[in-house]
Amino acid sequence: MSAQKTLSFDTLKLKEAKDMLADDYGNLYIYKNKDFSFTKYDSLGKQLGKLMFTVPYKVQSVQNPLSLVLFSENAQEMKFVDQNMNEIQKVDFKQKFGFIKMAYAEDLQQLWLLDDSTKRLIQYNFRNDTTINSYPFDVSFDDLMDLLVYETKVYILTRKHIGVYSLKFEKLFEAPLENGKRFRRENETILVVADHSILKYDPEKGMVKIFEDKEAQIVDKNILSYFEIKANKLYLYNLEKIRETKPQTEPETRQKAAPTVTEPSSEKPAGEEGTKKDTEKKESEQKATDDTLQQLIQDTSDVQTVGV
């Protein structure tokens, strides 16, 4: 799989990155553990904003760049940040709850909190400071990486597993998953971003890999593309192009199915006429590839023009 585009990004900005996220406008966010900095760049590497923290924070999502969500287990608080990286609201959990191990912002009113001290999952409206529901949820919080609640299902991600539960603490699904970092929800699709891969949860098939590069330092995606940092360089892959050329990887338990075989064409050129047809076909394929790349660059340019 070849990169559609190498983005002109300063390697020094990528060298110490602990995590990278891409919003749907093509802006990139770099989080560094060294100084707990969280910096926003456009696709050309121009800095658009920066936050400096005194303790580690976990970035929940940047899909909506108008309201970024960050949670700190150390500080026991959640921050909401605008498109200019200015803090617009802070929710302090210390006075009202025991010890919040993980928090998920469902929207701009409701949070889901995993309280380690009471072993409960709490639905909390922070706008009016009201606890809506509280469910017994005695799961192991060791190596907990992320939490997501959607359509009465609770998704729990650890460094080595993913689990799906009902609100009554009924286990609906569990599978090993190495080095998972966070969830990403695209409409009804639940994705997991890991160190070197991105997987999709399929209720029928389990976890399906949709992108993988074992040499990558960090991977992420937005609605248009996959992104990766590899050898301190930033690469962008056309999402649609990958779908056309590379079938999705089935879960390991189902990989024994017969491989897809492409049947050869029944019509084969012969002699000079065949050579001419081969040449015309190659030129046509090359032109199609160039057109696809040009369209991707134009799409990215159009998105940047719209702005946040």
Kindly state whether residue 224 falls inside one of the protein's structural domains. Answer: yes
Q: What is the pLDDT of residues 217-273, one digit of tens each?
A: 999 999 999 999 998 889 999 876 665 555 444 444 344 333 333 333 344 444 444
pLDDT tens readout for residues 129-140: 999 999 999 877
**How far is Cα 185 from Cα 150, in angstroms, rounded to an integer?**
9
Token couple for 47: 């800095």
Q: Is residue 126 part of a domain?
A: yes
Mean pLDDT in the chain? 82
pLDDT in tens, 77-130: 999 999 999 999 999 999 899 999 999 999 999 999 999 999 999 999 999 999
Where does the pLDDT of residue 276 fall: very low under 50, low under 70, confident under 90, or very high at 90 and above? very low
Which of these, 107, 45, 125, 52, lies nearest to 85 by C-alpha position? 52
- pLDDT value of position 307: 36
Residue 268 lies in a domain: no
Helices (H), 166-238: none
Q: Residue 270 falls within a domain, yes or no?
A: no
Task: Please tell me the predicted confidence (pLDDT) of residue 107.
Answer: 92
Task: Determine the average pLDDT of the residues in 183-204.
Answer: 96
pLDDT at 308 over 80: no
Backbone conformation region of residue 187, classed left if phi is above 0, alpha if psi is from -120 to 50, else beta:
left
Can you give the CATH number for the domain in which 203 is found? 2.120.10.30
Task: Say what the pLDDT of residue 9 is.
Answer: 73
Count of domains forming the chain = 1
Domain contains 269:
no
Dihedral (C-alpha) 104, 106, 111, 114: value to the nearest 10 degrees?
-40
pLDDT tens digits, 20-69: 999 999 899 999 988 999 999 998 889 999 999 999 999 999 988 999 99
Name the pLDDT band for 300 (thresholds 50, 70, 90): very low
| Structural domain harbouring 190 | 5-262+275-306
Is residue 267 situated within a structural domain?
no
In this prediction the pTM is: 0.76
